[in-house]
Structures are given as C-alpha cells and as structure tokens.
Structure 1
Amino acid sequence: MFSPLQLAVAILRLKPDLIHLNTSMDPKAFWRDAVYLLIAKILRRKVIFQVHGGKLPQEFGKANILFQIFLKWILDLPKAVVVLSDREYQSYRNLLLHQRIELIPNAIDLAPYSTAVEKNFNSQELKLVYLGALTESKGILETIEALASLKAAGKLAHLKYVIAGSGKIENQLKQQAAQLGLQGLVEFTGPIFEQDKIKFWLSAHLFIFPSYDEGLPYTLLESIASGTPVIATPVGGIPDVIRDGVHGILVKPRDSAEIASAISRLIQQPDLLKKMSLKCIERARESYEIERMAGQFEAVYETILG
C-alpha cells in the first residue's frame, strides 16, 4: 500500500502512461483513492478508476449536497470508470453523463476447475460451505440461525456447515453455534489457500452466501466454477451471475427464515441440485474466464492510450 508521497515518487520515477486505481464506495477506501487520483492528475497521468462494490454513488453521497458535488467532480477526473455489475453501470451512467463508464465483471482462472463435473447430491453427508471474511455483513450469523431452525424441525440429518476464513466475528460465530447446539454440525477451518481451497470447493455441495452488500465476489465465481450451487442475496453483481432457480436460490438479506427455507427446499431435491451444478459450471466457462476480462481491459487501455 502506497502512501500519497510514495505514489507521487513512484509516478515521477517510473513515468507510467496509465495508472489503474482500484477503489470501492466505502469511506475509508474512497478517501484514500480520491487522494491517489488527485496526485495522479496533478502529475498529468491518465487514470482508470475501477470500483469494486460498496454503495452505489447516489447512496454513498446522499447525506450531504456538497459531498455529492465533490463526488461527481472526482469521478469525472479519470479517463474511465470501470464497474462490475449491470446495476452499478446504470447508476454511474445516470450520475456521470459525460464520463466513460465500462462494465467489466470480475473473472478467475478456471484451469484449477477444468475437471469439474456436475456433483452427486445423494451422498451420505451434504456439505454446506462459506468461504471468506468472517464479518457480520456476510450473513453468516443468519445462516447459523437458519440451521438452528432446521435442527428444531428435524431437517438437519446428513448436513454439515463448514466455514473457512477468519475475521472479527469468528469468536461470536463459534459462541452462537455452541449456544444453539450446533457444535457437531458447524466446523471452522480457518483460512485456506491454493490447493486446499480448490479441494474445498470441489468437495462442497452448497455455498451459503447471504451477504448484505457486494461487488462481484471472487468466491462466488469459484463456487460456480467448481459446480457448487449457491444460496445468495440479490445484491451488487450477484444477480448478474446467479439466476434464481437455475444456479441456486436468491433470498432476502438478513432473513434467516428465507435461508432455512432455501436450504430445506434444495436438500430435498438432489436432482435439481445436480442440474444447478451443471448450469453453474456452464455459466462460469461461458462468462467468467480470466482471458475475457484481460481482453476487455486491454481494449480499454489501448483506446485510452491512443
């Protein structure tokens, strides 16, 4: 991470023709990257400003009229603003009438998942999973509540919930699982990487991702690339990837009852899950290969650099 001074020194030393800044519409990231953008423009560099989620710009600036004016001014400075989802594209297009807005969804290297095939959901134990930061906004607390309600209804036989990652609510999640009597059903692996992560996805049966707010998360793309259907929320770029009833089920944020209902519905329909698994693989290979994203950025770079 550069300090503003380090960035200025690097620009003066390296003399890049183009600077690609990654930001998100949350206060800490925005103010840091707004300073970087101003430094780059003062030093007469061309800039691409890529927004990775957070609030939509109209929501981000709605509390203060002066900040709305500043936000629009800042976002008009780069040569292009790059966004991840259709919803973001429409929002930025409506705000920045004369700015170049590019829609370039995230992508991943699909090579590790090249052998993925539709999964078998008739196994002795179905593995529900979560992978990512353990923060409140990811909806993990609601997932554990949903599992507790399924247990009370006698619908938790042959299920396991595996949580991979670390974060500030890890202890809270462990306490919640223990208080709800789910110790044997909920497993915490800690962070996983590389081959362990690939094995994790290939052995998973259902990704539970009821996040409150997202851009276009890489974990979602890894899930579908591995053939793992998804229970998620229709926020950020998720609806661009997941078609309700085809690649999984979309539920309302902060609603443990809807999560429980979706889990209950899917685990009772292994044939539907198998169809969803195949559709997930097809979706990843059609639209989220990293070569597609690289080609889109290359085209943008070429037109900006002339």
Structure 2
Amino acid sequence: MGSSDTNHKPRVCMIVQQRDVKGGIASVTNGYYGSSLEEKYDIRYVESYCDGSQFKKFIKVLKGLWEYRRILRDFKPELVHMHTSFGPSFYRLQPFLSMAKRRGVPVVDHCHGADFDTFYVNASEKKKRLVRKVFSKFDTVIVLSREWKEKFTPVVPKDRLVVVHNYCKPKTSEQLEGWLEDRFAKKQVVFLGEIGKRKGGFDFAVIILNTAKKLPGVRFVLCGDGAKEDVEKIKAEIEKKCSGIDVSFPGWVRDDAKDRVLVESSVFMLPSYHEGQPMSILDAMAYGLPIVSTEVGGIPQQVKNGVNGILTKSGDPLATAEAISSLLLDKDRYFATSRESLGIATEEYGFEAHAKKISEVYDSVLKK
C-alpha cells in the first residue's frame, strides 16, 4: 500500500480522544498535532471519546463514527492508528476497526491499558475469546513496555507486537539547576492522576501521615480527580488522620497550572497498583523531579531504582513514606536524583525518539 512517489505523504487516520480529556491517552495524542509526524504523513484525526455524562459520550462516539465513515470514503486512508485502553474503550472502538477492515485498510492498535488481569487473565472464557478475536484483526499492536509485550503474548503473536515508549518534552539542565535549591527547601510532594484505588489513592493518608512524622513541614499537592465516591472517601480519611498537615486538592491541572506545580514541587509520587507506562511520571521526569513509585507495569523501565527515584512494592504506604523522606532529608542525594531524572527523560524519552518509532511502525505496515 506504499507509493513510489517520493513526494507522496501516506494518508493516516488516527482515532483519538477529545483534546481536553483528562488522562494519559490524550496527553500522548495531543503531542502529535503539528509535530514531525505530520511532516511525513497526511494525518486526519477523528475524536471518539470525551469526558462527561454517558449520554454525552454516546453522542461523541456517534459523531466520531459519522466523521470516520466520511474520511474512509473521501480521504481513503492507507492506515488507521487507533488509541485504545481496556474497559469501555475496547467495545467502543470495535466499529471503527470493523469499518476499516471491510475496506481493506490496515489498522494499528496503540494500547494504553493498565489492568490486564481484570481485562483478560481473570475474565470469562467467552470474553477471552472475544478479546483474542478482536486483537487478531489488528495488523500491529503497540504496547508501552517490554513487560506489556510479554503480557500480551497470550492474545497477540510476538511478531505483531511492538514496544513504543511514551514520551515527554524535557526542560533544560540550566532550568533544573535554577530550581533545585528552592525545591529542596520547599518539601512539596506532588501527585498527578486519577484519585482512586488503581493509582494508590486509598494509601494517601498513611503515606502523608508517616512522611510528616519524619519530615515536619512537608506538604502534599494531590492533583487530579476520580469517581466522586472514591474522592470523598480518600479526602475524608486524610482529614481524619492527617490533621495539621498541609494537603491540597487542586483538581485536574493543565497547561500553565500544570507547569507551575511541576516547577514548584520537590518529589513526584505515584503509588500505583496497575500501570502501563504513566505519562505523569514522564512529565515529572521532564521537569527533573525525583520519582517515588511502585514496581508495576512499565514503571521500572522509566524509574531506575536508586538512580532517578525509588520504587516500592504496591500496597506498602510505609515504604513510600520512607522513600519520600529519605530523598528530602539528604540534599546531595536529592540533587543527584533530580539530575538523573532529567537526564534519563532527555536521553530516552524525548518526543522525536517516540515519533521515529511510530514512523517505523507505519512504514512497516504500509509495506505489507
């Protein structure tokens, strides 16, 4: 399906979330607009998901399918690139896949899911058959880490699985050096993400309390949101156990507000139970923040334990508190860990390296 015309830009249709959606998938896809990928490929974006009520989401996917139908007919893409997760996303995007395959258009799935056990391992045999059937239709499946490639082998043959790391846009070393003294003095711990069980929200109170015992004056900025019931329970537990400790909940932060909280914070915390390759960690590394997180998903490939952060077992809030305290009580270690964090972000997770891998996937599929 390629072309011998050197001026030809292969036509790609990308199925994405609305740009203001909260979470990691939109953070990834938003970086493609106006990027070097658009210099090499003629890309049309179709939004299939938005935040809001179930009715609003239903209308969004219907509009997306209508637009997608028009693009398949008029634009005639040579490749479709879908961004999916587990749960409702798996079902919502099946019509997009079927419509492309009926026209003989190859489809690349970019899987951002985290909880593979619930999605597949512990699912019913009927659902497992459905998952395998759907994934058999993808020409290539992009996963976020080597660990996820191994996890996916019961569903997708290894020769159709490709690892492409998420990316970040690192600050300069000069900027980091200007922040280090103030950050170490401020002792501010930041969290970015969904406030709920999967990302360790119900461990927050124990982490905060035990960090403050070792590090008086520490403050926590917990950015994000989640299911109303979960957020209320987590906030109530923190209020009950952590009286007198500086804890704030700014909600979801974007753009200037996100930049400000990452510049001003000292350590990034993510005590997750399940992950793919969290964009929030890469964002924090791009600002040179030391990372305290857990040994799940692709995190150990982002965070080199003892180098640019500290990893603990999930469900061990006391170890998380100890890790945060140890970084903020040792200035030399803190400075070294911060510099390593930015260095790894710059060398291994820059956008252009990510775009190059995506381009390699496209070219491989287009040549088939």
Q: How does 1:156-305 map to 2 (within 5 A)?
A: 156-168=215-227, 169-305=230-366
Residue of structure 1 aligned with 2:143, choices 80, 83, 93: 83
Range with greater deviation from structure 2 (51-60 or 249-258) = 51-60
What is the aligned residue count?
303
Residue deviations 1:10-61 (CA, integer Å, cap 9, x gap): 422332111101111x221112223321222123211001100223379614
Tell me, in whole angstroms, the C-alpha distance in 2 between the residues paired with 1:96 and 1:57.
15
| CA contact 1:119–1:227 (8 Å) conserved in 2 | no
Residue deviations 1:159-205 (CA, integer Å, cap 9, x gap): 11111222323333332222114354111222222122112112111
Question: Structure 1, unaligned stretches of length 5 or more?
Answer: none
Greater RCO, 1 or 2 (C-alpha within 8 Å, sep 6+): 1
| CA contact 1:247–1:276 (8 Å) conserved in 2 | yes
Tell me, in whole angstroms, the C-alpha distance in 1 between the residues paired with 2:340 and 2:283.
14
Report how far residue 220 of structure 1 moved. 0.5
Q: How does 1:97-176 map to 2 (within 5 A)?
A: 97=157, 99-110=159-170, 115-117=175-177, 119-120=180-181, 123-151=184-212, 154-168=213-227, 169-176=230-237
C-alpha change, 1:35 and 1:185, in structure 2 (3 Å) is same
Tell me, in whole angstroms, the C-alpha distance in 2 between the residues paired with 1:246 and 1:28.
37
C-alpha change, 1:251 and 1:20, in structure 2 (3 Å) is same
Report how far residue 287 of structure 1 moved. 0.8
C-alpha change, 1:277 and 1:22, in structure 2 (3 Å) is same
Tell me, in whole angstroms, the C-alpha distance in 2 between the residues paired with 1:145 and 1:76.
44
Range with greater deviation from structure 2 (2-11 or 199-208) = 2-11
C-alpha change, 1:79 and 1:49, in structure 2 (3 Å) is same
Q: Structure 1 length normalisation: TM-score?
A: 0.89
C-alpha change, 1:111 and 1:272, in structure 2 (3 Å) is closer
Tell me, in whole angstroms, the C-alpha distance in 1 between the residues paired with 2:356 and 2:305.
29
C-alpha change, 1:56 and 1:206, in structure 2 (3 Å) is same
Tell me, in whole angstroms, the C-alpha distance in 2 between the residues paired with 1:244 and 1:293.
23
Report how far residue 257 of structure 1 moved. 1.7
Determine whether 1:39 maps to 2:99: yes
Aligned residue type for 1:36: F
Tell me, in whole angstroms, the C-alpha distance in 2 between the residues paired with 1:218 and 1:305.
28
| CA contact 1:129–1:162 (8 Å) conserved in 2 | yes
Tell me, in whole angstroms, the C-alpha distance in 2 between the residues paired with 1:189 and 1:273.
26
DSSP 3-state at the match of 1:235:
coil
Residue of structure 1 aligned with 2:74, choices 5, 10, 13: 13
C-alpha change, 1:150 and 1:103, in structure 2 (3 Å) is closer
Identity level (%): 25
DSSP 3-state at the match of 1:187:
strand
Residue of structure 2 aligned with 1:68, choices 120, 128, 133: 128
Report how far residue 86 of structure 1 moved. 0.9
Report how far residue 158 of structure 1 moved. 2.3
Report how far residue 78 of structure 1 moved. 1.4
Tell me, in whole angstroms, the C-alpha distance in 1 between the residues paired with 2:88 and 2:309.
33
